[in-house]
Amino acid sequence: MVLNRQATARLLLMAGVVALFFVAWRHFRIIPMLVLGQPQSVGLLQRDQEAPFFRNLADSTDLPLIITYRTADSFGLKDTHQLEALRDGRMDIVSLRFMQNNAKEPALEGLDLPGMIPDFQQARQVVEAYGPTLDRYLQDSFGAKLLGLWSFGPQVMVCRSPLGGLKDLKGRKVRIASPGLAQLIAAIGGIPAILPFEDTKEALALGMVDCAVTSAASANFAGWTEHTHDYFPLAFQFGFNGYAISLAKWKALRPEEQDRLAQAFRAFSVKLWRYSEDLQRESERCIRADPVVSCDPLPCAMSRSAARTFSFCSGSPGRSSCPAGPPAVKRFARAVVKHGTRLWLL
């Protein structure tokens, strides 16, 4: 009897130790996450939206996350190597820049065919339709899972001298971010020049390029408007980006942790869509020197006097009187179909 009681006591003690260990393990579980964000040159979206999102992600999801967030420029990793960084386990989450990585994964380019997306509404429809396909390609090729998709907004053009229409691009050197737009710019008559974003301001200042393509907000924030005097608001592309997590890190999470993380990124992506659209609209008004807009809180590099010399199409981009209005959009789309089908749709 004494031996039986001693054995029972030992068993109960062991069970208590195991239970205590399990509770402690659950309570003290931590999930480290190394995050590569947008470069600081992106401006307000990185500073006021992305950085706070990751800073507060543990609290907003109630997950034991230990987030180390670094901007792409501070980490020293070229944004053209983001997918390899996920695949090789050097990063857990990246703020994926599609234009810069489409040479590594052509499926990224399928989301943003040049000249085919005129506005935010259609951009959202494309993302909804193509997002699952893109996620499958990234999982198969790079072991990366998409957590969200969003856009910087229409990739428009600023030029050093007036641009009355697409025909005026003939002979001009045009800065672009990736090869995807090169053939189309060449077909129109321009001379495509692939330049990193951070090098473009100097290239415009020195006359190394005549025009450059980016979002209105990015052009303002990066100071491109200090050296350009014409704004052509035709959406050449739509500047898609996304958040991707290493599939190995994703699979290491419990199902309920995956659900919380996925919900947080879905909600943040919706917020970024609204933010990008508002920022695009306000940045355009700032470029036009709209008197009802104060440029101080906006990413405007120009002074008010410089803004008044900035030319903008007569009328809004949605009216036929604007050189970048519907007639130009139709001509541009026809050029895409004529010159770019073999490159982008095969």
Tell me the pLDDT tens digit for each residue of 268-321.
999 999 999 999 998 888 877 644 333 443 344 333 333 334 444 433 333 333
Interval 51-66 mean pLDDT: 97
Tally of structural domains, the chain: 2
Instruction: Spell out the residues 6+ positions from residue 2 whose beta carbon is closer than 8 angstroms to its own.
Output: none
Give the residue numbers spanning the domain of 319. 155-238+296-345
Looking at the domain assignment, is residue 203 inside a domain? yes
Of residues 166 and 264, more confidently modeled: 264
Interval 171-192 mean pLDDT: 92
Q: Categorize the per-residue pLDDT at 199 as very low, low, confident or very high, splitting at 50, 70 and 90.
A: very high
Of residues 292 and 213, more confidently modeled: 213
Confirm whether pTM is higher than 0.85: no
Same domain, 134 and 163: no
Looking at the domain assignment, is residue 286 inside a domain? no
Q: Categorize the per-residue pLDDT at 174 as very low, low, confident or very high, splitting at 50, 70 and 90.
A: very high
Which backbone phi and psi does 151 adopt, to 5 degrees? -135, 145
- What span, in angstroms and rounded, lies between the C-alpha atoms of 163 and 185? 14
Q: Categorize the per-residue pLDDT at 75 as very low, low, confident or very high, splitting at 50, 70 and 90.
A: confident
Same domain, 90 and 54: yes
* Cβ–Cβ under 8 Å, residues 61 and 264: yes
Same domain, 84 and 232: no
The pLDDT of residue 7 is 59
Of residues 105 and 294, more confidently modeled: 105
* Cβ–Cβ under 8 Å, residues 138 and 82: no
- What span, in angstroms and rounded, lies between the C-alpha atoms of 111 and 84? 20
- What span, in angstroms and rounded, lies between the C-alpha atoms of 201 and 63? 41
The angle at the Cα of 197, spanning 143 to 244, to the nearest 5 degrees, equals 20
Mean pLDDT of the chain: 82
Same domain, 89 and 216: no
* Cα separation values, 174 from 154, 167, 186, 204, 218, Å: 16, 13, 9, 10, 16
Looking at the domain assignment, is residue 291 inside a domain? no
Same domain, 202 and 308: yes
Same domain, 263 and 305: no
Of residues 97 and 11, more confidently modeled: 97
Instruction: Spell out the residues 6+ positions from residue 340 whose beta carbon is closer than 8 angstroms to its own.
Output: 113, 114, 115, 183, 184, 187
Tokens of 288: 């036009």
Looking at the domain assignment, is residue 328 inside a domain? yes
The pLDDT of residue 85 is 94
Question: What digits encode the pLDDT tens for the residues 110-167?
Answer: 999 998 999 999 999 999 999 999 999 999 999 999 999 999 999 999 999 998 888 9
Same domain, 227 and 93: no
Q: What b/e string do you get for 20-55 counting C-beta neighbours within 10 Å, with b at 16 or more?
A: eeeeeeeeeeebebbbbbbbebbbbbbeebbbebbe
Instruction: Spell out the residues 6+ positions from residue 101 whose beta carbon is closer than 8 angstroms to its own.
Output: 79, 80, 82, 83, 108
Same domain, 135 and 161: no
Query: If DSSP codes are grouped into helix, strand and coil, which group holds residue 65?
Result: strand
The pLDDT of residue 316 is 38
Same domain, 202 and 83: no
Residue 250 identity: W
Same domain, 264 and 330: no
Looking up residue 337, the CATH number of its domain turns out to be 3.40.190.170
Of residues 65 and 302, more confidently modeled: 65
Same domain, 222 and 254: no
Q: What is the DSSP letter of 93?
A: E
Looking at the domain assignment, is residue 170 inside a domain? yes
Looking at the domain assignment, is residue 131 inside a domain? yes
Which backbone phi and psi does 133 adopt, to 5 degrees? -65, -45
Closest residue by Cα to residue 249 from 65, 59, 58, 39: 65
Query: If DSSP codes are grouped into helix, strand and coil, which group holds residue 316?
Result: coil
Looking at the domain assignment, is residue 5 inside a domain? no
Looking at the domain assignment, is residue 285 inside a domain? no
Same domain, 203 and 300: yes
